[in-house]
Structures are given as structure tokens and as C-alpha cells.
Amino acid sequence: MQPSDTVQPIVLLVDKEEPAAHLDAVAAAAAASVSAYARRTDDAAWENWVYGRFTKTVRRAGPKPFAKLAGHAPSGTVAVGRARAIAFEPVSYEEMPRKIRALQVSGTQLPDDDAVPGSPGAPVIIINADLEMSTGKAGAQAAHALLAWYLTLSEEDRDAWCEAGSRVSVRPAPGTEFAALAAAEGAGPLIVDAGMTEIAPDTATAFVAAPGA
């Protein structure tokens, strides 16, 4: 199986009565994605995927289906503000569990309410604000950026991030600021999207900022 044949499902809780803030949901999706990889018990489902394009699909679920799926998620439930996210190991679309495959992908957009403040020392994912990505799309791009950053860490630093609660925050930055921060020494790998949904091919979307940026 080639890396492009598998995809990691990420599921966001979308509660119509008490919706989470957009940026909190993006942060939760990213942290859940990487937490699932960090908590893996073997490499069988992950090895090819993580060194390929590590494709992800962000889906939404109401409170009841989310709760049913949460008990089976290797990420555990990641909470950021009111946002909740879970993530699973990579799987082909054909082998994806029906309960996950049936969840909606497109149109996941949460309100631009105030997000919770980032924790001191936690990585900050910078999102290209000029793209105006949906919550689902931004969540996938943030997850790409966080995983690319995580893979650059030593085993000691990976363990430290997990033991500190896998904390992360998300900050949008417009054009020139985004480019300047991406070029700064110590910034994580820049994610460039293939352009399959929402945005044009070869568009820079996200990265983890250099410490202190």
C-alpha cells in the first residue's frame, strides 16, 4: 500500500447548542492528530503514512456519535476551550469504519469567537489568514504542520510535549507576516497544500512558529 492510499480520520465535535470557537477547534484537531501518532502501540498502520504525505480528513459529529467514537480513539479526547477532537490511525477509505466514513466532511465552519489563550511554551501553529479556510480545512492543515514539527523533535522533546498535555495554540497571520514568520530561524516545516479542496495547488497554509515568535 502506498502512503497516498491511506488517510488519518480526525473527528471534531460540532455542538449546535454550544459551538466551539474556530481556532480552538483547529488546535484540538491538530493536537488529536499528533497525539494519536504519539500513542501508537505499533508502527504497522503508521510507518508508510507518516513518511509520505500524511493525508488527513477532518469530519464532524454531533454529541452522541462523537461520544460513541471517543472510546475507540487512540488520541483520547483532546479539549481546547469548548472544542473536542479525536483522531484515529491511518486507514484506506475502503477500510474506514462505516461510522466514521458516514460523517460529513465539507462545510465544517465554527464561529470566530475568542479562543482560549495559548499555554506558555506550547507550540504555536501559524495559519495563512489570507486563505480564509473553513474550520475543517484549517484543522487538517494545522495537523499537517504540527506533525511535521513533531517529527523534527528528539525523542526526549517528543515525550516532554506529550507529558505536558500535548498543548498547542493556533494564530492566523496575514500574507506578509505569515511569510516572514515562516522564514524565521527555528520555524517548523512549511506546509504546502496539494490543492484538492478549497484552495489552489502549491499554496502555503501553515507551520509551527519559531519559539518566541
Evaluate whether 29 touches 81 at the Cβ level (below 8 Å).
no
Q: Identify which of 33, 16, 22, 35 has the alpha carbon closest to the alpha carbon of residue 138.
A: 22
Q: Could you report the per-residue pLDDT of 93-120, keeping only the tens digit for each?
A: 999 999 999 999 988 999 988 888 888 8
Instruction: Give the residue-averaged pLDDT of 79-101.
Output: 95
Residue 5 has pLDDT above 90, yes or no: no
Q: Could you report the per-residue pLDDT of 19-76, keeping only the tens digit for each?
A: 999 999 999 999 999 999 999 999 999 988 988 878 999 999 999 999 999 999 999 9
Q: What is the mean pLDDT of the chain?
A: 92
3-state secondary structure of 11: strand
- The strand pairing partners of 57, in sequence order, are 9
Grid coordinates belonging to 6: 491511506
